[in-house]
Chain A
Amino acid sequence: MKTAVCIKQVVTRDWPLRPAESATWVRDDDASFEMNEPDAYALEEALRLKERHGGEVVVCSAGPARISQVIREALARGADRAIHVESDALSAAGADAVAAALAAAMQDESFDLVLTGLQSDDQGFGQTGVVLAERLGLPHATIIMEVDIAADGAGLRVKRELESGWFQWVAMPLPALLTIQSGINQLRYATLRGIMAAKRKEIRTVPLDGVASQGQRILELYVPEKTSATRFIDGSAPEAARELVRLLREEARVL
């Protein structure tokens, strides 16, 4: 089975963010980056499926040169080769542009299964996988918590996470695209041998075909204004308690 995993490089969680001059993205020239978390789970799931069913795992990513960091990490964890759609224009691109860029590069590979993370930790639209499925002409299912491929390899059953602890099993044909939920499996560590082997693996760099899609643009990015304020109430405990009750009743109007 030939599986593609689409991964994205995002600014590290908890990084102190500041809007860039353009006010359409954050300043990321000196940021620390990592693999988008749901994508790491998608990669792990692809590696586990390969261990069970054989085949090949190909990492696909779209972005500037710096994303080779996460591509190499994915190869070190066990992916077989990679496709890198390289363009600075994709550094803060939306789901539409990324899906278009990936689809063009993945079209001719005829993957049996395409896995993406459910959503990105930075923009969080949750649309890249879905739009990519449409562009590749594949059926898709989202928020996947379990993947069960039929013995004859003709189709698969997937478990989707719904609200309030409900799940849904869906039967699908192959080829298909799945967007993977974090926590579907346990992530493995990269090994020394994996890191060494990764150096010899192929990373096919392809240029962006034409200009990045402008179907979706960030108009403005800003830090939310702080609307809550802490207030200290002076006085003895009984006085302060009375004052607190008064404020909750008259100002906050929650009592």
Chain B
Amino acid sequence: MERETLDVDVLVVGGGPAGLAAAYRLARLNAEQGGEPLMVAVLEKARAAGAHMLSGAVLDPSALTDLMPDWKSRGAPLDVPVRDDRIYFLTARRALPFPVTPPPLRNHGHYVVSLNRLAKWLAEQVEAAGVDVFTGFAGTELLYEGDRVVGVRTGDRGLDRHGERKGTFEPGVDIRARVTVLADGVRGNLTKTLIRRFGLDAGRSPQSYAIGIKELWDVDPDRLPAGSVIHTMGHPLRHEEFGGGFIYALPEGRLSVGFVAGLDYRDPLFDPHVAFQRFKRHPLVSNLLAGGQMVRYGAKALPEGGWHALPRCHADGALIAGDAAGFLNSMRLKGIHLAMRSGMHAADAAFRAVREGDVSGARLSEYARLVEEGPIRRELYPVRNVHQSFAGGLLAGLLYSGMSLVTGGWWFRDPMPSHAGHERTRTVKRYFGGGVPPEPPGVPIDRALTFDRLTNVHYSGTRHDEDQPSHLLVADTDICRTRCIEEYANPCTRFCPANVYEIVDADAGAGKRLQINASNCVHCKTCDIMDPYQIIDWVPPEGGGGPSYEGM
């Protein structure tokens, strides 16, 4: 069967804020600079634009305003200005308000948004500007000529669970591009292979990550005025764990309630989903949610490493933008504006490179210069060691963060040393000193305030064709049932927020085995990041599969 091909000038992989900002910028440059317009296309693995978008989210509109000064008249879904910022330190029973809101968390002039709606709207603007947005197509491999990236191959469609062709088989498409902008999100599957092939992270700090788990709730509209923003630290996390909770109020009693936990915890029995449930049971939160209804659920990893963890973001024929590179300010808890800004810089560099007929990495390094000289470095450099400082615990992190506001981020060792999160997880034996581990803090599931993973997944709208090859490739499942079960007690069953990984009885009393419920996957990438043996490889399922994050 013949493989479809398509030639474009710039291919953007990923229809999130970074990719869509890049595409829109390219369309604007086409219109402003005249001449033969560049052909631009966007690939998005979700069935519909925005369907895999999940964030808090409080939006700093600075990048959007630069991208599209008339966003208001174009009906951008920025309806809720932040009216009130509060931060609490939680103990098990009490909520202690911070006397003042630290400057990085002041959100005056920002908006409480749904990233799903923002991306959906942005995709409409991009299409109206003449760019093709192909939803339902996942990029599965980069195309090379020598060492130059020349495009992307999309996944085959219509394969059964054994990888055999079904009657509907449709081979993947080769989209050839002069420049490929990789905006494939946190731990993007294509970016991962590009970084490995060229060692783009050489000499950089390892990227560190967190997992964000979020629910949308409908509660009594009088409970919390729209535009209220609440952040918490402390309970249910211990001193050694990084993270915190958030509650953002949208109109008509809709609340965004979420919890972020660093994927660099030591305790192998730590469970981010349980931590989220415990957070909701804290009186500060449970009083807000009482009598309400959970209406959506989702989870997504986020890059926390900051400035020092950014890889080199250009190669021959390719650029990396947004969360795929790690443009996120963990001190301000914001990344959307930086993702958009990086997409705009990538577009500028790509446009000029294509126009001049030189798409080498050297020419595309203009992108790095734009990042260095523009608002991204101005924002990220001073907080470059913040996330790393939390490795010493909450107190050390807070002290350093406070100090960095005065010192501009200086530290005795810069970059502050750090390790990949999965290397910090200790074995059960080491963490608990060889004794029997205590029962981890559980949480009663009442399906009113607290939910089990399976119920939650139902509210993520996740759907995959069941008859397709598993998209979670575990290199050696023997490790799961022999080594991991002993050493780490199979942490995949806890860090996966969607019940994808289960350890079940093997047939005929042959011990245990790993069962992968791939169709539950919400594409958060946590397993690819956090598995202690690094044997899980997340690859895209058939295009169109995944969650449906309407309103998230």
Report A's interface with B, CB cutoff 8 A.
12-16, 18, 30-32, 34, 69, 186-193, 195-196, 199
- Please give the distance in Å from B448's CB to the nearest CB on chain A: 14
- Please give the distance in Å from A198's CB to the nearest CB on chain B: 10
A32-B461, A186-B167 given as contacts; is B548 within 8 A of A192 (CB)?
Answer: no
A191 touches B170 (CB 8 A): yes
- Report the Cα distance A32→B52, complex, angstroms: 12
A16 touches B459 (CB 8 A): yes
Smallest CB gap from B114: residue in A: A30
Which of B132, B137, B167 has a CB less than 8 Å from the CB of A196?
B132
B136: Cβ under 8 A from any A Cβ: yes
B295: Cβ under 8 A from any A Cβ: yes
B270: Cβ under 8 A from any A Cβ: no
A18 touches B295 (CB 8 A): yes
A32 touches B51 (CB 8 A): yes
B458 touches A14 (CB 8 A): yes
A14-B463, A32-B51, A32-B548 given as contacts; is B295 within 8 A of A190 (CB)?
Answer: no
Q: A186-B168, A199-B132 are in contact. List 10 more A-B contacts (CB 8 A).
A: A12-B463, A14-B458, A16-B459, A18-B295, A32-B51, A189-B157, A191-B170, A192-B4, A192-B6, A196-B132
A192 touches B173 (CB 8 A): yes
A16 touches B295 (CB 8 A): yes
Which residues from chain B contact A186 at a C-beta distance below 8 Å? Answer: 166-168
- Please give the distance in Å from A114's CB to the nearest CB on chain B: 26
- Report the Cα distance A193→B51, complex, angstroms: 22
- Report the Cα distance A192→B173, complex, angstroms: 8
A32 touches B168 (CB 8 A): no
Which residues from chain A contact B461 at a C-beta distance below 8 Å? Answer: 12, 14-15, 32
Which residues from chain B contact A31 at a C-beta distance below 8 Å? Answer: 550
Could you tell me which residues of chain B, from 1 to 26, have a CB within 8 Å of some CB in chain A? 4, 6
B71: Cβ under 8 A from any A Cβ: no
Smallest CB gap from B216: residue in A: A30
Which of A12, A18, A189 has a CB less than 8 Å from the CB of B158?
A189
Smallest CB gap from A195: residue in B: B134
Which of B134, B157, B175, B550 has a CB less than 8 Å from the CB of A32?
B550
Q: Which 5 A-B pairs have the closest CB atoms?
A: A30-B551, A32-B548, A189-B170, A186-B167, A32-B550
A-B contact pairs, 28 of them (CB 8 A): A12-B548, A14-B458, A14-B461, A15-B461, A16-B458, A16-B459, A30-B295, A30-B550, A31-B550, A32-B48, A32-B51, A32-B548, A34-B47, A186-B166, A186-B167, A188-B170, A189-B158, A190-B136, A191-B4, A191-B170, A192-B6, A192-B134, A192-B137, A192-B173, A192-B175, A193-B4, A193-B6, A196-B132
Which residues from chain B contact A188 at a C-beta distance below 8 Å? Answer: 168, 170
Interface SS of A by simple majority: loop
- Report the Cα distance A24→B132, complex, angstroms: 38
A187 touches B137 (CB 8 A): no
- The A/B interface has a contact count, at CB < 8 Å, of 51
Could you tell me which residues of chain B, from 142 to 194, have a CB within 8 Å of some CB in chain A? 157-158, 166-168, 170, 173, 175
Smallest CB gap from B116: residue in A: A30
A69 touches B48 (CB 8 A): yes
A15-B461, A32-B548 given as contacts; is B168 within 8 A of A189 (CB)?
Answer: yes
Which residues from chain A contact B173 at a C-beta distance below 8 Å? Answer: 191-192
- Please give the distance in Å from B399's CB to the nearest CB on chain A: 42
Smallest CB gap from B157: residue in A: A189
- Report the Cα distance A190→B134, complex, angstroms: 10
Which residues from chain B contact A15 at a C-beta distance below 8 Å? Answer: 461, 548
Which residues from chain B contact A32 at a C-beta distance below 8 Å? Answer: 48, 51, 461, 548, 550
- Please give the distance in Å from B80's CB to the nearest CB on chain A: 15
- Report the Cα distance A31→B552, complex, angstroms: 11
Which of A31, A34, A69, A195 has the most B CB atoms < 10 Å from its CB? A195
Which residues from chain B contact A13 at a C-beta distance below 8 Å? Answer: 463
Which residues from chain A contact B136 at a C-beta distance below 8 Å? Answer: 190
Which residues from chain B contact A189 at a C-beta distance below 8 Å? Answer: 157-158, 168, 170
- Report the Cα distance A84→B250, complex, angstroms: 33
Which residues from chain B contact A196 at a C-beta distance below 8 Å? Answer: 132
Could you tell me which residues of chain B, from 29 to 83, have a CB within 8 Å of some CB in chain A? 47-48, 51
Which residues from chain B contact A12 at a C-beta distance below 8 Å? Answer: 461, 463, 548
Smallest CB gap from A32: residue in B: B548
Which of A15, A188, A189, A193 has the most B CB atoms < 10 Å from its CB? A189
Smallest CB gap from A13: residue in B: B463
- Please give the distance in Å from B543's CB to the nearest CB on chain A: 8
Which residues from chain A contact B166 at a C-beta distance below 8 Å? Answer: 186
Which residues from chain A contact B157 at a C-beta distance below 8 Å? Answer: 189
B132 touches A195 (CB 8 A): yes
- Report the Cα distance A164→B6, complex, angstroms: 48
- Report the Cα distance A214→B136, complex, angstroms: 38
Which residues from chain A contact B175 at a C-beta distance below 8 Å? Answer: 192
- Report the Cα distance A189→B166, complex, angstroms: 12
- Report the Cα distance A196→B173, complex, angstroms: 14
Smallest CB gap from B41: residue in A: A192
Could you tell me which residues of chain B, from 538 to 552, have a CB within 8 Å of some CB in chain A? 548, 550-551
- Report the Cα distance A191→B5, complex, angstroms: 11
- A interface footprint on B445-467 (CB within 8 Å = 1, 0 otherwise): 00000000000001101010000
- Please give the distance in Å from A75's CB to the nearest CB on chain B: 14
Which of A30, A187, A199 has a CB less than 8 Å from the CB of B168?
A187
- Report the Cα distance A247→B218, complex, angstroms: 40
- Report the Cα distance A193→B461, complex, angstroms: 28
Which residues from chain A contact B548 at a C-beta distance below 8 Å? Answer: 12, 15, 32
Which residues from chain A contact B551 at a C-beta distance below 8 Å? Answer: 30
- A interface footprint on B262-280 (CB within 8 Å = 1, 0 otherwise): 0000000000000000000
Which of A15, A34, A192 has the most B CB atoms < 10 Å from its CB? A192
- Report the Cα distance A62→B229, complex, angstroms: 41
